[in-house]
Structure 1
Amino acid sequence: MSMELDSDRLVDAYLNELATEAAELPAGRRDELLADMKAHIAEARAGGATSEDEIREVLRRLGRPSEIVAAATDGLVRVEVPPRLRPRDFVAVGLLLVAPYLLSFSGLVAVIGWGIGVGLLWTSNRWTVVWKLVGTLTWPIGYAAALFLDAFFQAPIWLSLLADTVITIGLITALALNARAPRQAS
């Protein structure tokens, strides 16, 4: 049993390294390459390669993941991956972060700024629906935390505002970090 687990770990580590090396390939080519390598490994295992040493030999014969990817990219044109965030996405994230703090200046300006940020967020292709919901609810969640501290713990105003700020900055940072580059055509 332990020998099988060690063999599985070797195969998993090899395939993970291959996937990492192949990350820049078009999605279709990357998936095809990973499927081919999995098929070769499964075939070798079905042929009796079960021990850790036998699996190591199978993986050695397949070649290092960097060499496999280099061979797979031979003749392909490298395509630049667009950046995760475009200027309009930075504006969306900035408005979602700053607009709630404009309430002391003008409630209307704060709501309009936040609304524009939400609109830019939802029209962007850089986030999943879940992250768009997180971005949309950042202001209400932070505000709810401040109200909760005030109502249930009679926390000082500075503590309620600090909690609001930490939650808002944390959620907006997570939103920005979870932006994705648009998918490449395969």
Structure 2
Amino acid sequence: MNTTDQHPLVAAYLDAVARETAELPAERRAELLADLREHVEVSGAEGDDQIRAVLAGLGEPRTVAASALAEEAPAGPAAPPSTGRTKLTAILLGVSGVLLLLNPYAGAIALIVALVLLWGAPQWENRQKLIGTATGAAVPFVVFLGALLGDASRIGPMEVLLILAFSLAVPALGAALLLRALRR
């Protein structure tokens, strides 16, 4: 062993780096400490002032550890979003329109849950969340507007089919757009 390895300043520095890198795999931590130790030895520093200068050049132990931990993190893309939660959001959003017509309470609950899941999900951007919200809320909005403006006695079979088609198509389109956005 070199005398710099036994120097109290070097030992304290290496101990601090070892503590800060406790999350690293043992072999990676040992490699890092060996590299730091070698750097100090190769510098030929003697005396407290020179050793302090070399250690300062290496950086604070916390900074060295943060760099090592960042290098150890997986370089690939972020973990994929939970597919179960994503599918549930899309399904609830897609069926909320028909459910609102068949059972207003079940439809309202499905729509509210879908919107809460949608806005709490990190995988979609705000623009996509707004599109999902607009397509999900379109059915209750149109039904409410129709109730305010129209006379229910004038609704014939053609109007019922149009309302049903709208209630199926618009929320399903919103769900499809959300799922498509994930594949990009």
Q: TM-score range by the shorter chain?
A: 0.3 to 0.5
TM score, norm. by length of structure 1: 0.44
TM score, norm. by length of structure 2: 0.45
Structure exhibiting the larger radius of gyration computed from Cα positions: 2
Structure with higher helix content: 2
